[in-house]
Amino acid sequence: MAIWQFTMVLFPQQNKKVNLDSIYIEDGYDVSDFWKFFNKKLELIEDIGLFLHRNPHCWGKDSFHWGDGKITDISLSINKHDDCIENFSIRIDVREKFDVVFVEKVINVANKYNLQILNISERKMIEINAEDIHKEIKNPRAYRFKNF
């Protein structure tokens, strides 16, 4: 992840509080267990395609990408063995003006599919509203690139 990108990871809401330490592994994070019983994968893929263009260079049976990897993009990967979502992440280019419309679309998808949002670099959950997401994006590390 470039310093000018803010990454959030989305995964289904849980009945109990998520132990964030259990998500982080030696070389990153793993939220695949949270997706085991999610059964609206195709609908989610279709909805994402409504607000960001598909990247044809990064599209396969188990990997879906929308947008441009150099700026704001969305990535969704599927586990080949059980055909479940493994990861759903959104990277926002903080050098660009805060795109309220894009964030509202992310919020709508999160609410529609009962997803929660994790600020992956800060290891904390984000409330699903534009104001809190905007606050998280104002990370001091990346903020110097911002144009809000």
Q: Structure pTM?
A: 0.86
Determine the average pLDDT of the residues in 117-135.
Answer: 90
What is the predicted pLDDT for the residue at 84? 93
Which amino acid makes up residue 131? E
Q: Is the separation of the CB atoms in 84 and 91 below 8 Å?
A: no
Spatial neighbors of 30 by CB under 8 A, at least 6 apart, are: 23
What pLDDT digit, counting tens, does each position of 50-60 carry?
888 887 676 67
Dihedral sign for Cα atoms in the order 65, 69, 72, 78: positive
Residue 116 pairs in a beta bridge with 11
Question: Which of these, 22, 25, 17, 38, lies nearest to 86 by C-alpha position?
Answer: 38
d(CA 103, CA 133): 8
Average pLDDT over residues 14-18: 85
Over the chain, what is the mean pLDDT?
85
Residue-wise pLDDT for 19-43, tens only, equals 999 999 988 999 999 999 999 999 9
